[in-house]
Amino acid sequence: MDFDQLSTERPTISAKDPEQVLHEVFGYETFRPLQGDIIREVVNGGDALVLMPTGGGKSLCYQVPALVRPGTAVVISPLIALMQDQVAALNELGVRAAFLNSTMDFAQARDTENALMTGELDLLYCAPERLIQPRTLDLLHHASISLFAIDEAHCVSQWGHDFRSDYLELSLLAGEFPSVPRIALTATADERTRKEIAERLSLTEARHFVSGFDRPNIQYRISPKTNANKQLLDFIKAEHEGDCGIVYCLSRNKVDATARMLSDKGYTALPYHAGLSAPDRARHQERFLREDGVIVVATIAFGMGIDKPDVRFVAHLDLPKSLEAYYQETGRAGRDGKPSTAWMVYGLQDVIKLRQMLEGSMGNDQFKRVERQKLDAMLGLCEVTSCRRQVLLRYFGDTLEEPCGNCDTCLNPPETWDGTVAVQKALSCVFRTGQRYGVTYLIDVLRGSENERIRQFGHDKVSTFGIGTELSVNEWKSVYRQLVANGYLRADPEGFGSLQLTEACRPLLKGQEPIQLRKDPAPAKTSGRSGSGSARAKISDQITDQAGWEALRACRKALADKQGVPPYVIFHDTTLFDMLERRPATLSELAEVNGVGAAKLEKYGAIFLEALNGLSPA
């Protein structure tokens, strides 16, 4: 392959019409739903608040107007890795984009500032803490600014899961630059958070554009936690062998232990958390973006703004604190629209730990009340017996008329059982033992275990000793988990793990109302890859010319290495697949491939035509 053909010239972007820019620069034929309306609003000078799911095309909503309106668009982004990623991708498209951040030396920053002042930039990315500095504001006042885009706008919400105090200062843009349109974008915000974003960013008069939150290509699965490591291994081995994925854990120690466990089993697994050095975090993220089959095991410190399109699974080994966090994290799977899995195991200890953390936090009563509501909603999703996707979408004010057919409760509807008597026994045992013990001890009492501790405390004499032999240990764990999840029991706020009765349990304890419990399903023995009819088939399952596919991927990888960018910045898998299907023989035919814009056609066209010409006939 002759890489001397690689063009280093940046083609001039001639189009000034949104549809032309979309086709000429980005290589797409039509806008997705709402994109066109949002872009026209901003191009015409209007403000906008945009809610669009991860992978829904939010970036185009400010990148296209930036290339249509005169001047430089300023994009406020919360993470250095995110802005560097986006700038690299835009440069590949022939767009004049740059960033200002702490990784630059004085000379680099000065050159970027000069490019801004002389009108040589289409987009400039910077962090909120840099933007609000007097020197930066003065610089912007002396430049021609086309628009401000505030990405990850949910960071302004104190009720949100990614609160950043620097975002609160961004309201000054309305006063400092009253004639410059502003667009705030996020993938995750319930009604309360949307209202707060608008108020705190002085966007109360902005048009709101709320796209559907549904990600039909993601299959949602939640299982009781029995042996988390074995469950994770079985899941990856059965369904995602060789795939790229993210595994979320609550603590740094668990991240390290899980990454070691996966590495010992032969997987390329890298830890990521705030306890690692900055160079280690950067190196691990770089490998995740550039290599195939890498699994990152992380705390919630990882993932915001990750544009990698082919993450095939997101796994949670611990319960997220809210549905916002869950939706944001699972949304990092399947950005290319291909079938992907959001898989989670959770147990009673997760519930107890999160409730204890909440009650022991420094927040005021209002904060704790809101956080309780968010945790309750998360638990509701875990224990629901109907379609999970309907519950998830309803939380964000969206609706799905029919069950999705692509979540575990649709694919394998859970059974329920009359748990009235079992619940009375469980609650009574908590009461009879003095509300001072954890679930393991309570189950031992119910099942009549002959151990020294029970005899020492005299609990072999209480009326609930040995009355629960009809259920297994795991079945009793399920009962207690559901009682805690539904607020009938609470964890000791002092952190000792004991369970205590709440006022809500009184009617159950007295037998005044029945209760149906969810029966935990037996571990699945078959793959869950079936997916819904609306989710497109996995690319690898559609390829008939495997040798041709590997040849195109090798060509892309060589170019990516030469350019120093992740392979998907050259072309997404979907674009390579379209090439393989169409087999273009000329540059004009290659230009019709989805995702091939003018800059990439000029830069890589001859190289990929040569690669295609060397393939066996289809």
DSSP structure string for 313-341: EEEESS--SSHHHHHHHHTTS-TTSS-EE
Beta-bridge partners for 125:
75, 99
Beta-bridge partners for 272:
298
Beta-bridge partners for 209:
50
Q: How many CB atoms lie within 10 A of CB 133?
A: 11
Contact predicate 119/145, CB 8 Å? no
Amino acid at 513: E
Least confident of 83-92, 176-185, 260-269, 427-436: 83-92
Give the pLDDT confidence score for residue 471 in this predicted structure. Answer: 95
d(CA 238, CA 522): 16
pTM: 0.78
Contact predicate 184/24, CB 8 Å? no
Q: What are phi and psi of 407, to 5 degrees?
A: -135, 165
Contact predicate 345/316, CB 8 Å? yes
**What's the token pair of residue 221?**
């699965």
Give the pLDDT confidence score for residue 158 in this predicted structure. Answer: 65
The residue among 58, 186, 66, 51 whose CA lies nearest residue 124 is: 66
User: Looking at per-residue confidence, does 298 or 2 come out higher?
Assistant: 298
- State the helix-helix crossing angle for 573-582 and 546-563, rounded to 10 degrees: 130
d(CA 114, CA 1): 38
Q: What are phi and psi of 476, to 5 degrees?
A: -70, -35
Helix residue ranges per DSSP H, 217-322: 228-239, 252-264, 278-290
pLDDT digits (tens, 9 = 90+) for 99-109: 998 888 889 99
Give the pLDDT confidence score for residue 532 in this predicted structure. Answer: 40
**What's the token pair of residue 224?**
């009781």
If you count DSSP H runs as helices and E runs as strands, how many of each does the chain have, helices first?
28, 17
d(CA 354, CA 359): 9
Taken as a whole, the chain contains a residue count of 618
**What's the token pair of residue 163?**
């609160």
Contact predicate 427/509, CB 8 Å? yes
> What share of the chain in percent tops pLDDT 70?
92
Q: 214: helix, coil or strand?
A: coil
pLDDT digits (tens, 9 = 90+) for 294-339: 999 999 867 655 678 889 999 999 999 899 889 989 999 998 888 9
Give the pLDDT confidence score for residue 247 in this predicted structure. Answer: 97
Residue 594, pLDDT > 60, answer: yes
Contact predicate 410/512, CB 8 Å? no
Contacts with 217 (C-beta within 8 Å, 6 or more apart), sequence order: 334, 337, 338, 339, 340, 531, 534, 535, 536
Contacts with 285 (C-beta within 8 Å, 6 or more apart), sequence order: 81, 272, 296, 302
User: Looking at per-residue confidence, does 533 or 128 come out higher?
Assistant: 128
Using only C-alpha atoms, the chain has a radius of gyration, in whole angstroms, of 27
Using DSSP bridges, classify how beta strands 499-501 and 489-491 pair: parallel, antiparallel or unpaired.
Answer: antiparallel
Phi-psi region of 405 (alpha: psi -120 to 50; beta: other; left: phi over 0): left
Handedness of CA 315, 152, 53, 281 (dihedral sign): negative
Tell me the domains of the chain and their CATH numbers: 13-210 (3.40.50.300), 218-346+384-411 (3.40.50.300), 416-518 (1.10.10.10), 542-613 (1.10.150.80)
d(CA 394, CA 398): 5
Residue 472, pLDDT > 90, answer: yes
CA distances from 596 to 11, 137, 599 (A): 14, 37, 8
Question: What is the chain's mean pLDDT, rounded?
Answer: 88
